[in-house]
């Protein structure tokens, strides 16, 4: 059994470099950033639908989405915002160059998102009105950053 585990471990370790993505490649970084933003959006979608009344309010689902949003917003995403990944350099990027350059402000804005998401967690399961109020803080954090640092569509 030890020999089998050793052989499997050795094979996996040898294959790791081939499996790893080149996270210095701007296209790969942009793909990762798009994925991160998509994960955030996937948590916001059901909350937004409940807030608009296009989906029934579900306390458990709202709480779960809020918890996921809080967890995602707490991830250090600084490695996703590097020179060479901004609009004007990469065609698929909507990030204005200022978000790459203004690291302190970007970190502050993500901290605001984390704070708003944490606050949403505490109220999301109470009722739809409390969830809407909590979602307002998240929307303000997202919108403020997008207005300042995202190129218009």
1-56 pLDDT, tens per residue? 555 444 545 554 554 454 456 779 999 999 999 999 999 999 999 999 999 999 99
Residue 39: CB atoms within 10 A of its CB come to 15
**Residues 120 and 66 sit within 8 Å (Cβ to Cβ):** yes
Evaluate whether residue 80 is within a structural domain.
Answer: yes
Q: What pTM, to 2 d.p., does this model score?
A: 0.84
Evaluate whether residue 9 is within a structural domain.
Answer: no
Evaluate whether residue 105 is within a structural domain.
Answer: yes
Q: Count how many domains the chain has.
A: 1
Evaluate whether residue 56 is within a structural domain.
Answer: yes
């Amino acid at each position: 059994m030890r020999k089998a585990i050793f052989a499997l471990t050795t094979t996996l370790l040898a294959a790791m470099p081939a499996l790893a993505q080149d996270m210095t490649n701007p296209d790969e970084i942009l793909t990762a950033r798009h994925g991160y933003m998509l994960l955030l959006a996937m948590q916001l979608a059901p909350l937004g639908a409940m807030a608009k009344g296009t989906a029934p309010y579900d306390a458990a689902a709202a709480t779960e989405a809020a918890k996921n949003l809080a967890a995602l917003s707490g991830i250090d995403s600084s490695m996703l915002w590097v020179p060479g990944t901004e609009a004007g350099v990469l065609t698929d990027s909507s990030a204005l160059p200022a978000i790459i350059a203004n690291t302190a402000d970007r970190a502050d804005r993500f901290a605001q998102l984390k704070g708003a998401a944490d606050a949403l967690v505490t109220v999301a399961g109470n009722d739809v009105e409390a969830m809407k109020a909590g979602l307002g803080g998240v929307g303000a954090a997202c919108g403020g950053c997008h207005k300042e640092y995202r190129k218009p569509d």
